[in-house]
Amino acid sequence: MKLSTRELVTIAVFGTLWGIVEMTLGGVLKSLDIPMSGMFLAAVGLTVAMVGRVFVPKRGATIFIGVIAMLLKLFSLGGVILGPMVGIFTEALVAELVLSTRKKPNQIILMLAGALGVVWVIAQPFVTGPLLFGRTFFVVWLDFLDTARRVLGLGDSALVLVLGLYILIHLVVGVLAGVLAWNVGKQVRSRLGKSSEKIVEL
Amino acid sequence: MKHKTMFLFLVMIAAVILLAACGGGENTPDSAVGADGVPVLMVGEKSYTAAELEGMAQVEASFKGVSYVGVPAAELLADAGYDLASVRAIKAVAADGYSVNYEPDVLSPADVIVAYAQVDGALSADDGDFRMVLPDQEGNMNLRMMVEMQVVE
């Protein structure tokens, strides 16, 4: 993969945007204890990253954007940053893997990347908890169920419903992020006088 | 195109706001008060008042510069009939329904306590009647307003 100076600058700009979102909005959402703040942050961050991918439709662009955002997260004031940093990187990695299946991005692939990237928010604690924080898989599972039940307001008996709804909400938000990224990317490109034909390859 | 993008953006914002409004009472414990009106902490099937905790082993522990006094979590669980070595997890539940799950190892240290007071007075209103104090853990592990400890065996 060879990137021009312009493409590298574009990647840096979108990586910085994602990083700023994480540093500012991320801090506010966490401190206010907003439910599903991880999902919301992932959706916004991936939207930014995928708009960047529309601008730089080359393999590796999304992971570079994620790495820049992750490094910027280091400058967040206070709190735990290791988990969010790993989260940013892995979300970008998931999106990159999906986007890399096509030479150039299209709306469908962006929707899929958004959906899987946001759903990764659910899966991430099961990986990072035991590996980085010494938590057992069982306790991470209990935490996940408690969070899902609390957010959805469902009782102990509705395990399948809780799981299904929780995953569905993440999928839908991720798909919306993909649609939004595609439309914003196309619109901004056209305003900058760039042909949207180059990125349309359904 | 512009309207479509704006619509999608508004849908996402609306979805997040609606989700933020979700959640509610089903997981909230019914009561943290005993029959005589005294606040109690449920540990498994057994209930404890602050006065009863005072009669047990006392340990001081600090979190974020505040010193608390309470009973080691492991001793409290043992008193309630649970051996940490044979349980899979312990769930601490707050009055607002928030909960934290602990690995048994996390509650083993002697300075991990169930606090019922500060060293220099009563717990603050934000702390509730009982709270967890884990000096070496992050804030989200130090549950406040605790009303119940559930044991998962």
Residue B25 has pLDDT above 60, yes or no: no
Q: Which residues contact A202 (CB under 8 A, 6 or more apart)?
A: A106, A107, A108
Q: Tell me the per-residue pLDDT of B98-140, one tens digit each, with 9 for 90 and over.
A: 889 999 999 999 999 999 999 998 999 999 999 999 998 888 8
Sign of the C-alpha dihedral computed for residues A153, A154, A156 and A161 taken in this order: negative
- Residue numbers in B near A78 (CB within 8 A): none
> What pLDDT sits at residue B18?
61
Please give the residue of chain B at the shortest CA–CA distance from A43. Answer: B12
**A149/B26 CB distance under 8 A:** yes
pLDDT above 50: residue B27: no
- pLDDT band with cut points at 50, 70 and 90 for residue A94: very high
pLDDT tens by residue, A57-82: 999 999 999 999 999 988 877 666 78
Q: Is the pLDDT of residue A155 over 80?
A: no
Averaged confidence pLDDT in chain A: 88
On the question of pLDDT at A200 being above 60, the answer is no
pTM of the entire predicted model: 0.77
Q: Which of B1, B25, B89 comes nearest A142 by C-beta? A: B89
Question: Residues A132, A133, A136, A141: is their CA dihedral positive or negative?
Answer: negative
Is the confidence at residue A33, as pLDDT, over 70?
yes
Can you give the pLDDT at residue A202? 41
Name the residue facing A151 among B19, B25, B103 (closest C-beta): B19
Phi, psi of B64 (to 5 degrees): 50, 40
- Nearest by CB to residue A153, choosing from B12, B24, B101, is B24
Interface test mutation site (partner B, options A46, A183, A187, max chain B beta carbons within 10 A): A183
Residue labelled with tokens 């206010």:
A32
Does the beta-carbon distance from B12 to A146 stay under 8 Å? no
Q: Percent of chain A at pLDDT above 70?
A: 92
Question: Can you give the pLDDT at residue B28?
Answer: 47
Our CA-based measurement puts residue B35 at a distance from the nearest CA of chain A, in whole angstroms, of: 26
Cβ atoms A120, A127 nearer than 8 A: no
DSSP character at residue A198: G
Write the single-letter amino acid at A159.
L
Which pLDDT belongs to residue A192?
80
pLDDT tens by residue, B36-85 = 778 889 999 899 999 999 999 899 999 999 999 999 999 999 999 998 88
Residue B24 has pLDDT above 60, yes or no: no
Contact yes or no for B101 and A80 at CB 8 A? no
Q: Per residue in A45-57, pLDDT tens?
A: 999 999 999 999 9
Whether the CB-CB separation of A167 and A149 falls below 8 Å is answered with: no
Residue A157 has pLDDT above 70, yes or no: no
B136 at interface of A, judged by CB pairs closer than 8 A: no
- CA nearest A146 in B: which residue? B99
